[in-house]
Structure 1
Amino acid sequence: MDARKQGLARLEVIGPDLLALRDAGIGRMFGSDSYSVRGKLFAFVSSDGALVVKLPAERIEQLGLSNMVMRGSVMREWATVPLDDSARWRAVAVEAHAFVDSITP
């Protein structure tokens, strides 16, 4: 199984917990399911199988995560959690939900 499929399978495992959060739903991002709060994305799986989440820039640094890079640009509030660190996926995704919930009307 390639890395993207592994990441999608891992996200599917924690998906029910994410959908149980306040105002959470599923949308589409880069051809796969993504999780949102009132339509604003907070988590999805990248092409390399990593979990990508929206968090404050300073929190990304505190957690020791890397920023997502898109077309050569560093995305300041988007972090990647590698597939080999999937034990942290649930907690980081829940934190991303809380952050997006706090900034979404």
Structure 2
Amino acid sequence: MSGVPQPMTDERRAQRRLGQALLDEVVAELEVLPGASRRRMFGSEGLFAFGRVVAFVDGDGSLVVKVPAEQATELVAAGSAEHVRMGRSPAREWVSVPRIGEAEDVRSLWERLVRVSYDVVSSATPSSS
């Protein structure tokens, strides 16, 4: 996920639809968690916890989630993710995770990361106590 918006081509639209379909499957099981809800943002349907963003799909069909800074660094170092740019600099806790690899491996990774993101976001939300 680069800091410069890319034009939405047919290929990017197709990738975004595939990413959204996978995210829809992943969050279907998490929607029952306290404070969980879904709504549209940045042209896709995202998962929220107590009104705060947990996960969404970017224009390339990659998963965007908030994880602890140390885990974000590990994911980036392993080549599994990229730091998301917020303004001019990369966000320490937000990563973009592409759908690269075997389908089951990608789904498993996305499931784990969306749950981690839900836990991070909901634990930082005063109304979740």
Q: CA deviation at 1:29?
A: 1.4
Q: CA deviation at 1:72?
A: 4.6
Match of 2:97 among 70, 75, 81: 81
Q: CA deviation at 1:20?
A: 2.0
Q: CA deviation at 1:71?
A: 5.2
Other-structure match for 2:8 = none
Larger radius of gyration: 2
> Which TM-score applies when normalising by structure 1?
0.88
In the alignment of these two chains, the number of paired residues is 105
Q: CA deviation at 1:92?
A: 0.6
Other-structure match for 1:59 = 71
Q: Distance in 2 between matches of 1:102 and 1:73?
A: 25
- Structure 2 residues not aligned, in runs of 5+: 1-10
Q: CA deviation at 1:23?
A: 1.4
| Aligned Cα root-mean-square deviation (Å) | 1.7
1:25-56 CA-to-partner distances (Å, cap 9, x unmatched) read 11221021111110000100000000000112
Instruction: Describe the shift of the 1:3–1:72 C-alpha distance in structure 2 as closer, same or farther (beyond 3 A).
Output: farther
* Overall identity of the aligned pairs, in %: 36
- Structure 1 residues not aligned, in runs of 5+: none
Other-structure match for 2:37 = 25
Moved over 6 A (4+): none
Other-structure match for 2:84 = 68
Q: Distance in 2 between matches of 1:22 and 1:91?
A: 18
Q: Does 1:14 align with 2:9?
A: no
Q: Does 1:94 align with 2:110?
A: no
